Amino acid sequence: MQTEEIEDIEIQLLLDAIRLRYGYDFRSYNRASLNRRIRNCLTHCDFKHISEIIPRLLHEGLFLQRLISTLTVTVSSMFRDPEVFLALREKVMPVLATYPFLNIWHAGCATGEEVYSMAILLKEVGLYDRTQLFATDLDDEALAKAAEGVYPAEKLTEFASNYRVAGGKRDFADYATVKGGLLRVDPALRKNVLFANHNLAGDGVFAEMQLILCRNVLIYFDSTLQERVLTLFADSLARGGFLCLGTHETMEFSKLHDQFSPIVKKHRICRKSIQHRRPAW
């Protein structure tokens, strides 16, 4: 049996151990990407074989967080893909302004930069005070960083540039302070944000949303899990609610495709049909 075949068996056993011991199901993640990250774990955790991870995982609960941080992706930035935020400002916010109260969900929020970007956008269009932002992720370590709202100061130039392209109306420095090599987000931006652990592979609906953002997350799932997550979003959205996916993600091949209409196709912003009703089960 070839080395790669043995590693495939070890990976399957590891995924089963994570699911059976802790309830996290990674089996439907994109296998090529997942395998690569598990193999990288060997270097970071000083193991020779993948199977050596399993006993430590089973008997040391704290090791789970270290492993999850290795398996999940936490790439983010303030106003990442700023043209998307400009489209949200121009095409979505005027509609959301007609609602008396808003629920917005950032699914897979990583370390929180895009959550604070949305908070800034909402403040500038006068909607922040009537909005509850839900920011969720599987990685507790990333969530802790997000809740802290502290980032490397060298990111300031990038953040400020993105903010301007996204249609920012003020100076980005109005929303953050830089001291001691750290950039700290204005605490006022965290007032209406709830950070929480949520597993898209297994957890369900927790509120009715007017806008859901899940950008560059579905690309790490296989087609079955993608459909499961898109169904979760469809069930979570109010009629007429908006969904914003990543640049390389689409609903085109989903069975839910006819429930949504494109608003800004280029930036993967769509809207749930106002006429659509959930089936009676």
In degrees to the nearest 10, what's the CA dihedral of 165, 76, 257, 97? -50
Q: Which pLDDT value is given to residue 278?
A: 45
Q: Is the pLDDT of residue 180 over 80?
A: yes
235-263: average pLDDT: 92
The structure tokens 């989903």 sit at: 254
Report the C-alpha gap between 129 and 156 in whole angstroms: 26
Q: What is the CB-side half-sphere exposure of residue 160 using CA atoms within 13 A?
A: 15
Report the C-alpha gap between 210 and 92 in whole angstroms: 10
The structure tokens 């069930």 sit at: 235
Domain with CATH 3.40.50.150 in the chain: 82-272
Lowest mean pLDDT among 117-121, 210-214, 270-274: 270-274
Q: What is the pTM of this model?
A: 0.84
Report the C-alpha gap between 213 and 50 in whole angstroms: 34
Q: Which pLDDT value is given to residue 6?
A: 83
Distance from the first to the final alpha carbon of the chain: 48
Q: Which pLDDT value is given to residue 32?
A: 81
CATH classification code of 82-272: 3.40.50.150
Residue pLDDT, tens place only, 135-164:
999 888 899 999 999 999 999 999 999 999
For 84, the enclosing helix (H) or strand (E) is helix 82-87
Q: Is the pLDDT of residue 274 over 50?
A: yes
Higher pLDDT, 68 or 2: 68
Residue pLDDT, tens place only, 206-236:
899 999 999 988 988 888 899 999 999 999 9
Q: Which pLDDT value is given to residue 73?
A: 65
192-215: average pLDDT: 94
